[in-house]
Chains A and B, each alone.
Chain A
Amino acid sequence: MYENSREQVAKFINAKESSEIIFTRGTTEAINLAAYSWGLNNLQKDDEVLISLIEHHSNIIPWEITAKLRGFKIKYASVTSEGILDLKDFENKINSKTKIVCLNHVSNVTGIANDIKQLSKFVHEHGAVLLVDGAQSVPHMKVDVQDINVDFLAFSGHKMLGPTGIGVLYVKKALLQKMVPYQGGGEMIKDVTFNSQSQQCTINWNEPPWKFEAGTPNIDGAVGMAAAIKYLEKIGMDNILAHEQSLTKYAVDKMKSLNKISLYGPTDSSKCGIIPFNITGLSSHDVALLCDSYGIAIRSGYHCAQPLHQMLQLQSSVRASFYLYNTTEEIDRFIEVLKELQTL
């Protein structure tokens, strides 16, 4: 069942082979796996990693840690005043020293999607590889790794109706051979032979993907994630995206009519189901707690993207987000609660 789940994930993102699918605990561990197993073994002192300032901390910290271990340099591509990737700055910062570019597909703060297909072409023209944080895209739209031509794609089960503690790192086959495991034990080894003369152990790695899955695997997590994928596919990823975009437009149009609301980022219809905002005179946490009192779950704070908040000069923000199970009636209720909040 575990291997069938891997097959299902591979088909879902149109990977060429199921061996390109490595199960992890989630997106964060997936990016850490790439940073340690690929980064530490392929990046040298003068190399550069290009990351955008829109990233979730999970796509910043693993690179900062490994940069300190290996001595390579990290460059940050800036954002526009709307919180989207500044393409001019991005183009200025990529060069022959850039070995990997790390970008999100969809921002977990603004809901804006990067044009990964276009960016991938550009990154590859410069001889670098591309890692994409797909935590906010894979659950919400059709993602075809061959079409967008990414080298690494990380995503989580719990953001796509699956269980927590399971995620995936997709790695293009050619790169799997350039990675060295950073966790040892369990299924990741074929054999360990003790040589009594040298008093050393000789280790023979297993083949990918098992080579990178140390310890007892999260079998129920993988099976749960595959079941979630089956469910999403039955509904249709295009239908899910259309539903979310329609809900987002519905909510944005209503929120725009409220006096004290500040919306951040572009509010056009291409936006995925995420709306960042603040209410004048109230902290983001007040807004979240008030909504919580009415049974509406939204998030407040930095959303693990503090650099983006710094760039937008925000102390914090509130984030309303939608998925396939949300309805316009729920948005109406949300708007009513926001109206009450304005009276505080």
Chain B
Amino acid sequence: MSATDSYIARIEGTCGAESDIIVVLKFDKKDQALEKILKKAVLKSKIADMIYDLRFEEYSFRVYASGKIIFRGIQNKQTLNKILAELLL
């Protein structure tokens, strides 16, 4: 079990031609995870403390207060795991 597993419930590839990945946070850990992410990523915009448009290194992603994160254009699981580890640890 990796350290990020304590925050992540599951990772889903989306259905469609886009290469989006959805990360679903564990319900009881989502607020803690969100706090960590907001400290490390650059906030581009937000809507009513519900949706955060963020950037980390060269990657753009959105975090939803419901506990879901959508990453765009990440080609492999290794890169995703690296980003998640840096954001959540």
Contacts and interface: CB of A to CB of B under 8 A. Distances in A.
B53 to A, nearest CB: 7
A285 B18 contact: yes
Given A301-B15, A302-B15, A285 B47 contact: no
Contact of A343 (B47, B62, B65, B72): B47
A340 B50 CA distance: 11
A327 interface: no
A290 B17 contact: no
Contacts of B16: 283-285, 300-302, 309, 315-316
Interface residues of chain A: helix, strand, loop or mixed (majority)? mixed
Contacts of B70: 283, 285-286, 289
Given A283-B16, A301-B14, A344-B53, A289 B47 contact: no
Interface in A268-319: 283-286, 289-290, 292-294, 300-304, 309, 315-316
Contacts, number: 60
Interface residues of B, number: 20
Nearest to A283: B18
A178 to B, nearest CB: 36
Nearest to B48: A340
A318 to B, nearest CB: 10
Contacts of B72: 283
Contacts of B62: 286, 289
Contacts of A300: 14-16
A287 to B, nearest CB: 11
A285 B22 contact: yes
Given A343-B47, A344-B47, A344-B53, A285 B64 contact: no
B37 to A, nearest CB: 15
Please indicate which of the listed interface residues A283, A292, A300, A315 has the most CB atoms of chain B within 10 Å of its own CB. A283
Given A293-B51, A293-B64, A316 B22 contact: no
Interface string B21-36: 0100000000000000
Interface string A180-212: 000000000000000000000000000000000
Given A302-B16, A315-B18, A316-B17, A289 B45 contact: no
B18 to A, nearest CB: 5
B14 to A, nearest CB: 5
Interface of B: 14-18, 20, 22, 45, 47-48, 50-51, 53, 62, 64-66, 68, 70, 72
15 contacts: A284-B16, A285-B18, A285-B20, A286-B70, A290-B64, A293-B50, A293-B64, A302-B15, A302-B16, A315-B18, A316-B16, A340-B48, A344-B47, A344-B51, A344-B53
